[in-house]
Structure 1
């Protein structure tokens, strides 16, 4: 699947230690790093996949959870088609901080950005501090798509990223997402080819160009 029709830009946000980088690596590389260091600033991954019969490249920016990097990571919210917000089901504080992360995301993304909430570390469900029902209610109250997943086993990881992509594609088809808007977080391959032919080089990350 080398020829893709769209590029979708994602960001992953949430507290330090909830498993954001591990989710990214499980999705893009099908592996779980046993000793993953905390992200410093921003990390990046891509994967080409099929969504509703269309070949789509997901361009995923993994942001640091520490407060001292917040000013840097906020600049990557701009132009995100999808925002994946992660908490750790075994750590109550990471769930309690979701309201702050959600406010941050909504203040710096566009109204059509698709928001997915992932409760990570499902493989450690016996140690959970946050029930599925509580998180599901939070998601419904805030218009979020919600799944529990495990970066370690891979359970629901692919589904979380692809469900977000399917919703973005539905928004394109329905007209809810305007591809001509600079902040859409989506670039069609046709638009990208036209830019290259016109001598316009791909811009920064926020334009969702590869």
Structure 2
């Protein structure tokens, strides 16, 4: 990948239960059709990650290295090495699989264990509710569960997911896996979140170096603005 003109290089990890659509989400972002199956683009590339350039609203260019779990999550075997140095993290569940939503607590605990919570972590996080069915299926109060054609379950509502995300101080986004804009916005949102954080830090450092505290009784330079 051509790296000239790149402002940042971010590692992005994707976590969540098996069969919630993580690999499909990544594949769709890399340009694959939603019917392409469950082969990870990372597996195809024979690399632990795939790369894509993201252009932010502020004119920055980010080289995003996106890591897939490659099935390790089913054994709860993700370790610190998977999360290490991640600037971005997508925490996924299937909106039509309530158990995958309930397991978000465990995933957030793992993330806080290996990365740290939002008060101490430098990793931008986004909770992602993935809808893998066509939108017409959500007109039915009790949608068809993805793992069976017999039993039905109540989809996770937007309000419920928003409330959970708020409790962890993490943004939430609903993603229709068949919508190209939805898929792209999912990754772009977490990148924007991280870039804004870094830009704020840069502004604080610049202000800290150049500004003088003019309040009564103070004539020294400020060390920071944050």
Q: TM-score normalised to the size of structure 2? A: 0.69
Counterpart Cα distance in 2 of 1:30 and 1:67: 24
The CA deviation at 1:25 is 1.1
Asked which structure has the greater RCO (Cα within 8 Å, sep 6+), the reply is 1
Q: 1:18: how far off?
A: 0.4
Residue 166 of structure 1 is matched in structure 2 by: 192
Count of residue pairs the alignment pairs up: 174
> Based on CA coordinates, which of the two structures has the bigger radius of gyration?
2
Residue 102 of structure 2: which of 96, 99, 110 is its match? 96
Runs of 5+ consecutive residues of structure 1 not aligned to the other structure: 177-210
What is the aligned-residue RMSD (CA, Å)?
Answer: 2.4
User: Which whole-Å CA distance do the structure 2 matches of 1:171 and 1:161 have between them?
Assistant: 16
Q: Which residue of 2 aligns with 1:44?
A: 49
Aligned equivalents of 1:154, 1:53: Cα separation in 2: 22
| Equivalent residue, structure 1, for 2:156 | 130
Once the two structures are superposed, what CA deviation does each residue of 1:37-59 show, in whole Å capped at 9, x if it has no partner? 5899x952211121120111110
Residue 24 (structure 2) pairs with residue 22 (structure 1)? yes
Q: 1:151 maps to what in 2? A: 177
Residue matched to 2:218: none
| CA-to-aligned-CA distance 1:105-133 (integer Å, 9 cap, x gap) | 11111512111011001635342521111
1:47-76 CA deviation, whole Å, 9 max, x = no partner?
Answer: 1121120111110011136442x3345421
Partner of 2:146: none
Q: CA contact under 8 A between 1:15 and 1:65: conserved in structure 2? A: no
Aligned equivalent of 1:9? 11
Q: What residue in structure 2 maps to residue 118 of structure 1?
A: 128
Contact preservation (8 Å) 1:22, 1:152: no
**Match of 1:81?**
87
* Residues 73 and 157 (structure 1), Cα distance of their counterparts in 2 relative to 1, 3 Å cut: farther
Q: 1:30 to 1:74 in 2, by over 3 A?
A: same
Match among 116, 139, 147 for residue 165 of structure 2: 139
Alignment of 1:60-79 (within 5 A): 60-63=66-69, 64=71, 66-68=73-75, 70-79=76-85
What is the TM-score of this pair, normalised by structure 1? 0.74
Gaps of 5+ in 2: 144-153, 203-226
